[in-house]
Structures are given as structure tokens and as C-alpha cells.
Amino acid sequence: MRRIAVLVSGGGTNLQALIDAQKSGIIHSGEIVLVIANNADAYALTRAADAGIASEVVLKKQLGSQAAFEEKIKELLKQYAIDVIVLAGFMSILSESFTSCYPKRILNVHPSLIPSFCGEGFYGLRVHQAALDYGVKVTGATVHFVNEIPDGGEIILQKAVEIQPGDTPEILQKRVMEQAEWKILPAAVEQVCSAM
């Protein structure tokens, strides 16, 4: 059984999808044992507590530098003997000195079909706004391994979602989450855990 840590910054809807997938047996080769938030007010921490999962808050402001921030996260990953790391709406870019310690062990979900609308500066509603501005007819989500290039790691799974007339970034974000992110993220986590 692989030990999973989920890194979060906000509401934790993807964390909830993972918790639900674990309960329903979609994820059965791994177990979420730790949630790390870089925001003390993240609702994801409440979701972790409700599910009986240990959580820790690591604040870059308190630690003073990216290096100290990443070092603290590494300490926690070691302390909890983590095998697989999932970035679920984690709003902090991790450096190469961090990502290189965990090759093919860090997963991220991105709300577009990479290589479209990805890379530095593309996150949250910005991604969906860009897709609408460009006029694409299909968007979706991608789960990929994390390396030192934002959204640049090897793709694990993708799922397409159609854009509807009258979509706003908010409406599109919700559809992409429901139809793609919440399905492929748990599937990818199980795939990686079972292959280890």
C-alpha cells in the first residue's frame, strides 16, 4: 500500500475527489495519509480532518525562502514515509531541487489539455478564460508527472470536455472539474501507485 501526500492551497475539491475515490475503492493501491497546505485558511484542511487524515500547514512567509519552504515539506514527507505526492490545486511552483528528489512520484492535475493553456501563469480561472478567448471547442484536464518545468512533465492521463455556447470561465471550470479532473486524478493516482 503506497502512502500518499496531497498538497493543497484552497478549497480542496480535488482532495475530496481523491478521498471519495479511496472510499469507493477506485484508489486501492495507495492511501492518503497526509495533507499539506500552504495556506492556514484552506478549506481542504477541514476536508482532511473530516476524513481523519493528518494535516500540516507550511507557510513560505514564516520560513522566509523557497528553499526553507521546500525543505520543511521534504521533512514532513520523510516523517510520514510518503511514496507518492499529489498536487491538488497547490498554488506554489516547486523548484528543480525539490522535484528531482521525487522523479515520477509527483502528480499534478491541470485544467486544460496540455500542451494548450499551460505553463507559468496558467492556473485557475485564467486557464478557462484563455480557452474561451481562443475559441477552442474542446478543453479538458491533464494529469502529469511534475518536473522542474511548470506543466512540463510526462502526461499520465487526459480527458476532453466540450465547450458549450454561453460558457463563462466559472461554468467551464465546474464542468472540467466534474467531467474530467475528478475522474482522471483518482485514476492516475491508482495507476501510479499500482505500478510502483
Tell me which of 28, 110, 128, 144 is the catalytic residue: 110
What φ, ψ does residue 14 adopt, rounded to 5°?
-70, -35
Tell me the one-letter amino acid at 77. Answer: L
Closest by Cα among 22, 33, 26 to 77: 33
- The DSSP code for 154 is P
**Angle at alpha carbon of residue 110, lines to 12 and 84, rounded to 5°:** 65
C-alpha radius of gyration, the chain, whole number: 16
Active site residue 110: yes
Task: List the catalytic residues.
Answer: 110
